[in-house]
Amino acid sequence: MLENTEAPKLADLDDIRTFNLPNCNFLQKILGHLRLRGYPYHMLKTQMMVVICIVLGWAASASAQLRVMHYNIAGYQGDDAALKDVLAAMHADNKMGWAQPVDIFLFNEVNNTAWPKIIAAVNASAPAGVTYTAGTYTSASGETSASGAQAMFYRSDTLTEITSGHADIFSGASRYCDRWQMQIKGYTSALSKFYVYGAHLKASTGSANEETRRTGMVAIRANADALGVGVPIIYTGDFNFYNNTETGYIALTAAGNGKGVDPYGNGNWTGSSNSWKQTQAPMIVGYNGMVGGGLNDRFDFIVPSLGAADGKGISAMTSTMRVPGNDGNHYNIDINAGNNTYYPTEIARSNLLADNLGMASDHVAQLMEFQVPAKMSASLVSAPTRVIKGALASIEVKVQNVAPYFSSTGVDPLVFAVACTGSVSGTATGTAPLLPSSISKFVTLTTSVVGTVTGSVNVTSTNEGVESPSIALPVSAQVIRASNPTLNSITDVDSVSLSLNTQPNLGAVTVDAGVRNYLYDANQAKLDVDSVSFTGTAASRMSLTSGLGAGLTTGTRTLRFAFNSNGVAAGTYAAVATVITSDEDLLGATNRPVIVNLSVVVGSGVFGDISGDGSVNSSDLGFVLSDYGDCIAGAPCISDLNGDNVVDSADVGLVLGAFN
C-alpha cells in the first residue's frame, strides 16, 4: 500500500468539492475511497481529474451506438454508495478507447425492497443530462420472496420500449425470464427494433439443478426462435453455467433462429487462465453476508443472437465484451487485493473500482457495445435549373452516413447505390463515410432538346435496419438555346461597317452601332457583351465608351465607339473592332464575336475640305451631298459648314465657293 506522504490542503479539497459538475456526486466519493487507500494527495487530484475529464468528454449524442450492462445486484444487500459508484464507473469506462453513457441496464435479483433503491441508484449515478426509464417490471409469484425478479432500465433519449413486446417466460425454480422489445430512437425500420432477455437460472451444482437450467434455457430459446429469422436479440443474465459443456449452455448456443453467439467463443472459461471472464464472487468473504469465495466462476452472460452478431445493422461488437474491474490477476482472491490493473496506466482508478465492486454485490458487472444501423442522407450539390442545349451537365450527389456515434466502429458501414430516371442518366455504388465526411458521385443531365427536362436521382441502401433506405432526389431543369448576337435590328448580322468624318483636335468623336439578342425568348440564353479589341491604323485611338454588360434580352444595346482626334494628321484611317459576346453564366455557355469595321476620315482644317486631302474639290461636294439632312445630336457633322446643324443647299454653296 502506498503511504500518504502529502497532507491535502484544505483549499485544494474545496476546489475539487465545489467543482460544478451536475449529477456527479460520485466524484466526491472517489476522493474519499482513494484517501482511505492512502494515496498521496497529488495522485488523488490526478485521478479525480481523469474521471472529470472522461465525464466532460462525453458527447450527449442520441441514438448512438449502444452500451449494454448486466449486473446481478444480490437483492441490493451491498453498500448503497459503492453500488452507485459502480454504476457511475460503467458510464465512465473507456477501456475500449471511449466512454459513453450506458444505454441499457439489466439487473438480476431485484426484489420489492431493491426495486425503489435501484431506480434511485440508476438515475443518481447518471451523467449530467442523461435520464433513465424503467422497463416493464414484473415480479411473478415467488420471485421476490426468493432471489428477486429481473429489471431493465433504458436511456430515454436513445431508446423506447415497445411494451406490447414484453413477455414473462417461466425458467424454473420460481423464476421468470423477462423479454423486452426495444426501438432505437431516430429509426423506423423493422430491424431497428430488437429484443433483450433478462434471466436468472437455477443456481448450484448437481444434475437436478443443471437440468432445471437446461429446461429454463430451452423455454427461452423456444420463445426467441419464434420471433423469426435474423431478429436481433440480446440474452443477458446470471445463467449459473459452470462450464461450456453444460446442457443449458449448449441449448443457448444451439442452431435455430435465436442461436446465441458467445462473444468469448465457445471454449471453456474455467481456471486461472480465463479469470478475466469470471464474474463471481469479488471477495473471499462476501461483504454484508453476500456470497464469497473469490473470482472463479463465470455465471453472468451477455450473449447476442446470430441476428445480432452478423456485423449488420444492430450487431454486437464482440471484442468489447468485458468485466469492468476484473484485471485477470485476482483469481480466487479478493478483487481489491493489492493493486488492480484493469486500467493499466491508472492504478488508483482501478483500485477504486475494485473496492466498490467488493462492497456492491457478490457479482461483477459486465459491459458490451453494440453497433447501430446506418442512417442515410443524400442530397444534390450541383443540380442545374437552367442549362444551355448541348452542355455537359454533371450533377453531384452527396451521400453521408449520419448515424451518431462515439466510436466510428459503432455504426454499420453504409453501402449504397445510385440509379437515375427520366432525363438523368448514370449509376454508381459506394460506401458512405460517417458525418461530417461525405462521398460524392456524379450523374448526367440530358441536354439535347430545348425545353423542360425532368428526372430523378434515386439513392438506395439494402443495409440491415438502415434508416431512410431509399431517397429520391427530383431534378427539373430548363434546357435553352444559346444567345445569338446581331448588329442588325431585323436580321442576323455578325458584321457591319461604319464611317466617321472629323477634323483634327475635336477630342473624342463618336459613332454608334446597335447589338441585339436575335430572336430572344424564354427558351434562349441572355446575352453578355464582355469585351472589345481593336486592330488597324486607327486602333490606338479607338475605344468603346459604353455597351459592355450582361443580361441582354430584348431591345437594342448601343455600342458607342470613340475616336481620339486630338493631334491626329489629316487622312483616312481604319479600325476593326472585335466585340466578344457570350451566353449568360450557365453550363454550356460559349463566346461569339461580332465585328464592326470602322472607317475614319480626318479633314485638313482647310475651310470646305471635308475629305481631308488638303483641297476643296468634288470629293468634298460628295460628302456634303451624302450627309444632306439634319445633323445627328452628339455626332460629328463636318459637312455642316455654316454650323446651323443641318446640311443643306447653303453648305453646298459654301463648298462650291471654296473650290480650288
DSSP characters for 20-86?
Answer: --TT-THHHHHHHHHHHTT--HHHHHHHHHHHHHHHHT----TT--EEEEEEE-GGG-S-HHHHHHH
Q: 156-367 has which CATH code?
A: 3.60.10
pLDDT tens digits, residue range 372-411? Answer: 999 999 999 989 999 999 999 999 999 999 999 999 999 9
Which of the four pLDDT bands, split at 50, 70 and 90, describes residue 36? low
CA 315/CA 170 separation, integer angstroms: 27
What is the CATH T-level fold of the domain 485-657, as seen in this structure?
Answer: Immunoglobulin-like (2.60.40)
- Quote the Cα angle for 487-488-493, to 5°: 65
**Higher pLDDT residue, 652 or 455?**
455
Give the model's pLDDT for residue 33.
53
Q: Which residues pair with 305 in a beta bridge?
A: 260
What pLDDT is attached to residue 613? Answer: 73
- 4 alpha-carbon distance from chain centroid: 50
Indicate if the pLDDT at residue 646 is higher than 50. yes
Is 470's pLDDT higher than 90? yes
How far, in Å, CA of 616 to CA of 608, rounded? 6
Other Cβ atoms closer than 10 A to 377? 18
Mean pLDDT of 413-439: 97
pLDDT of 31 reads: 52
Q: Which of 169-178, 214-223, 639-648 reaches the highest mean pLDDT?
A: 214-223
pLDDT of residue 658: 79
Beta bridge partners of 502: 602
376-402+410-480: CATH number: 2.60.40.10
Do the bridges between strand 193-200 and strand 233-238 make them parallel or antiparallel, or are there none, so unpaired? parallel
What span, in angstroms and rounded, lies between the C-alpha atoms of 283 and 342? 16
- In this predicted structure, the answer to whether residue 24 has a pLDDT above a threshold of 90 is no
Q: For position 650, what pLDDT does the model report?
A: 84
Assign residue 97 a region (left: φ > 0; alpha: ψ between -120 and 50; beta: otherwise): left
User: Of 422, 421, 439, 442, which Cα lies nearest the Cα of 430?
Assistant: 439
Listed residue (125, 147, 120, 119) closest to 237, CA to CA: 147
Q: What is the mean pLDDT of residues 51-58?
A: 43
* Residues in contact with 526: Cβ distance below 8 Å, sequence separation at least 6, in sequence order: 483, 517, 520, 550, 551, 552, 553, 583, 584
Give the position of cell 460628295.
622
Q: Cell numbers of 460, please?
A: 438506395
CA distance 390 to 444: 12
Identify the bridge partners of residue 591 per DSSP, sorted by sequence position: 582
Residue 660: pLDDT over 90:
no
Asked if residue 525 lies in contact with residue 388, where contact means CB atoms within 8 angstroms, the answer is yes
Average pLDDT over residues 625-630: 82
What cell does 598 get?
470602322
Which segments of the chain belong to CATH 2.60.40.10? 376-402+410-480, 485-657
Q: Which of 305, 183, 164, 167 is nearest to 233 (CA)?
A: 305
Grid coordinates given for 480:
435553352
Return the residue matching grid coordinates 462515439: 406
Q: Does residue 35 contact residue 44 with C-beta atoms inside 8 Å? A: yes
Under 8 Å between Cβ of 365 and 356: no
What mean pLDDT is reported for the chain? Answer: 89
Mean pLDDT of 114-143: 91
Integer Cα distance of 372 and 192 in angstroms: 8
**CATH 3.60.10 region(s) of the chain?**
156-367
User: What type of residue is 27?
Assistant: L
pLDDT score recorded for residue 633: 60
pLDDT-based confidence at residue 255 (cuts at 50, 70, 90): very high
Distances (CA, A) of 31 to 16, 38, 46, 57, 651: 9, 11, 11, 20, 114
Has residue 336 got a pLDDT over 70?
yes
Average pLDDT estimate for 223-227: 98
Is residue 606 predicted with pLDDT exceeding 60? yes
